Amino acid sequence: MQRGNHTSVSHFILVGLHHPPQLGTPLFLTFLVIYTLTVSGNGLIILTVLVDTQLHRPMYWFLCHLSLLDMTISSAIVPKMLAGFLLDSRIISFGGCVIQLFSFHFLGCTECFLYTLMAYDRFLAICKPLHYATIMTRSVCNYLAFGTWLGGTLHSLFQTSFIFRLPFCGPNQVDYFFCDIPAMLRLACADTTINELITLVDIGFLALTCFVLILTSYGYIVAAILRIRSADGRRNAFATCAAHLTVVIVYYVPCTFIYLRPGSQEPLDGVVAVFYTAITPLLNPIIYTLRNKEMKAALQRLGGRKVVKPH
């Protein structure tokens, strides 16, 4: 099938994770359990926040968005991986590859913006508590959340269109388990130097800017917490922020490893990609439920258990 005057590839073959054939079924079962726990865990967080009126606050509203992103980003990648393990179904159409790449970067970029927004929310709550309620109103929260999704859409449209303007005339084997920028650049029948540079600058600038804003917010937060005289107050404030800082680190380290080296072909890249597409979406609900007392109490209320308040 011709695409314009250049592209003759009508489909791609996802090589997937390199593994011995006898490990296909165990890997399928492992990632099926991970995917099931990811969807159910994040779905439970969304349900808990929606049902429990005590959690109807900006922090948990943004957490709902994070859980939705984790569910969808995992759903965009893992089911196709599972089909490859069990059915050896590795073919993906050209259009399917475009959709998968767009979806992944749309959701991933939105999550990057959302982490920054969540850090700003904690900054306002701890550093400007008297003005917090007037600044973070429901309408403001809705606009800010919508802005993260819009920003992710625009970013992904740019990256996807810039990748698939390249001619793909064969080979069509994607040495990866999903369609992503570094793997697709290696298949293009043209010089990809400009694409690699734009990927490095665009994603690098976006990630670095968000990360600096997060660090700046937490710099102010730590300074404000240290001024709290009560030991319990400091402990509670740190506990509130610890979960967010943990998921930020878990998110940024693997992404930086991959996208600041767009021309890399190291085998470790696939392992790192599995971490942020399958493992990180599973870890986020675990981190937030284990590190957040309010969320644990809300889950107990949802389950019908009486919450014992400390004296």
Nearest Cα to 176, choosing from 280, 84, 87, 86?
84
**Could you give the CA distance from residue 196 to residue 290 in angstroms, rounded to a whole number?**
40
Tokens of 296: 């644990």
Looking at the chain, list the stretches that DSSP marks H as alpha helix, in order from N- to C-terminal side.
Answer: 24-51, 58-87, 94-127, 129-135, 138-163, 181-185, 193-226, 231-259, 268-274, 280-291, 293-302
- Whether a cis peptide bond, with omega within 30° of 0, leads into 171 is yes
pLDDT of residue 231: 74
pLDDT of residue 147: 95
pLDDT of residue 262: 56
Q: What is the pLDDT along the chain (311 residues), one digit of tens a residue?
A: 444 445 478 889 988 877 777 888 898 999 999 999 999 999 999 999 999 888 899 989 999 999 999 999 999 999 998 888 877 778 899 999 999 999 999 999 999 999 999 999 989 988 888 899 999 999 999 999 999 999 999 999 999 999 999 899 878 888 888 898 888 988 898 888 888 888 888 888 888 889 889 989 988 988 888 887 777 767 777 776 777 788 888 887 777 777 666 555 566 677 778 888 888 899 888 887 767 778 888 888 887 755 545 44
pLDDT of residue 5: 47
pLDDT of residue 260: 66
**Could you give the CA distance from residue 270 to residue 307 in angstroms, rounded to a whole number?**
43
